[in-house]
Chains A and B, each alone.
Chain A
Amino acid sequence: MRTMLAALALAGVAWGCDVKAATEAAPQDTKTYTATVKIDDV
């Protein structure tokens, strides 16, 4: 039982780290710049 609880706790910590890493990385990935492109029709 103790081993099982320890494993669950470790999994929870690992999951928490993943979520933290993903949320920290997200703002950089979502930053954009904008432009207008004109293309001729022939």
Chain B
Amino acid sequence: MLEARLKKIDGIQSAKVKGFDRESKFYFNIAVSESKSVVPQTIRAMLEELKKETKGDEDYPYNSMVLTAITGKVEKSGDAWTFTARGSNQKYDLVANDAVKKLVESGKSLLTLAGKVSDEQGKLRLEISDAKDSAN
């Protein structure tokens, strides 16, 4: 059910159940076209729609979203770091780690990143866990 709904979201090319854990969470691996932006609000909107259509029978709260590999441009302005995804041009506020800082200092700006996405107060934020030069 959820897998099929995820696949219907504009831009999602594949969605596969990764697993189900003891804390009652479904995990899905998704692949998204670079030209499209799928963010936490996109997933929440799908879940809301599902709940509405099933009159509350299918009620699955959103938990979290982690980008596992996304390529784009990293920029620093003052103390603020931003990431602009390649293709969709979706912008994220970046919480840069040492790996990102080192890559940018060495002149690399097109990077492939992984990290948790949040959108508290309507601002997309990407908390980096891994970063590498997109050419690698």
Residues of A at under 8 Å CB distance from B?
Answer: 28-29, 31-42
The interface on chain B, measured as residues whose beta carbon lies within 8 A of the other chain's beta carbons, has a size of: 37
Whether the Cβ atoms of B34 and A32 lie closer than 8 Å is: yes
Q: Which of B64-72, B73-81, B97-105 contacts A (4 or more CB under 8 A)?
A: B64-72
Contacts of B13 in A (CB 8 A): 32
Q: Is the CB of A33 within 8 A of B24?
A: no
A41 to B, closest residue via Cβ? B24
B126: shortest Cβ distance to chain A, in Å?
11
Is there an interface contact between A38 and B60, defined as CB atoms closer than 8 Å?
no
Residues of A within 8 A of B33 (CB): 29, 31-32
| B67 and chain A: residue at smallest CB distance | A35
Known contacts A37-B43, A39-B47; is A31 also within 8 Å of B61 by CB?
no
Given the known interface contacts A32-B13, A34-B32, A36-B28, the answer about A41 and B60 at a Cβ–Cβ threshold of 8 Å is yes
